[in-house]
A = this chain, B = another copy of it.
Amino acid sequence: MIIKDFSLAAVPAGIKYRDRLDLGLIYSRTPAVAAGVFTTNQVKAAPVLLSIDRLKQGRCQALLVNSGNANACTGREGMEAALETSRLAAEALGIPEDMVLVSSTGVIGLPLNVQAFENNMAPLVSSLSEENFEQVAEAIMTTDTVAKTVAKSVVIGDREVRFLGMAKGSGMIMPNMATMLAFILTDAQISFPELNRALKASVERTFNRITVDGDTSTNDMVLVMANGSAENPWIEDDQSPDYELFKDCLEEICKELALKIVEDGEGATKRISIRVCGAKEDSDAEQIARTVANSNLVKTAFFGEDANWGRILGAMGRSGIRFNPDKVDIAFGDALIVKAGIAQGSEAEERAARVLKNKHFTVCIDLQDGTGCEEVYTCDLSIDYVKINADYRS
């Protein structure tokens, strides 16, 4: 799928490795309405700080993104490098500097090689094409094993509105944006307040519900650019049916990308949904689900395909949320293994063990204490996770 008036390009610029796509450009022929969500880590990389600042105007026209170097913890020189690369792109594209956003992922703490950007800006801009979405998705990969893209469309006011989304992220993934980049392009005509609201709501229920290792990165960024080329009736009211259609489609895009990130979690062999119901409040359910989803002991048991509900109950107990352990039900898929705090015996264990052999499954925890409900997505903790992270300077 292509989206009219968005063109893209990627080149191997040698930022960290040779002969690997590592520099990408997304360009909208007309200035796009744009909204973003950024890392909550107070140590923010230079490109994050610059993009936050520039997005205040609610518009942008280009995004320059690289892998191989995060340009994080690089001080004043890092900010100068981010500014310089955006200037190079703006000049080559013939647009104002403040319409260029920048984004980086990779090693922390090393100076960004601005020369590599300079050397490659001309070929990058000259190869811009509507067809290159997959190439940019590839250029932003670090320890990712697959490029992650999603395409969807929805009819709004008789016009087909298209969405293309890409994401990267594999380690340092934790609720509230972790080494994770996602860029979503759409041709919708939508005003900034509605675009911003739809993005924040979608991210909260998707990217902020996944965890790989509980670490939150310095460089996270989700960006949506809407260039209006679909010429649908302007979406300017967040109570309108058109807004709902747009927002639902955006949230689906975000959810699919988020799940792809979990599935491609560093070393992951399984994706697990942790669903907590019966809590007093949704926020209680979320806190318990997050604690379980981040427990190394729970995650290694998933890797070992061990239906170790004792570790789940142990993690719940340190979540800080009060509940009555004697009322808790725990099920792996459809295998109810604990009822009212008591193990259900070897037959239930065997059924649960079969569920754990799947690549995807859900752990349902019912506290029997209210209507609060929430779901978080995680992956297992494998030997390869340790190998990857003991070897890779990220």
Contacts and interface: CB of A to CB of B under 8 A. Distances in A.
Contacts of A342: 73-75
> What is the interface residue range for chain A against chain B?
35 or more
A43 B386 contact: no
Contacts of A110: 343
Nearest to A324: B42
Contact of A385 (B214, B300, B315, B326): B300
A75 B326 contact: yes
A386 B390 contact: no
Contact of A322 (B42, B309, B311, B326): B42
A172 interface: yes
Contacts of A381: 296, 386
Nearest to A107: B310
A41 B390 contact: no
Interface stretch (A4-12, A147-155, A215-223, A239-247): A215-223
A327 to B, nearest CB: 11
Interface string A143-162: 00000000000000000000
A54 to B, nearest CB: 21
Contacts of A385: 296, 300, 386
A382 B387 CA distance: 8
Contacts of A313: 43, 73, 108-109, 218
Contact of A318 (B216, B296, B315, B325): B216
Nearest to A303: B390
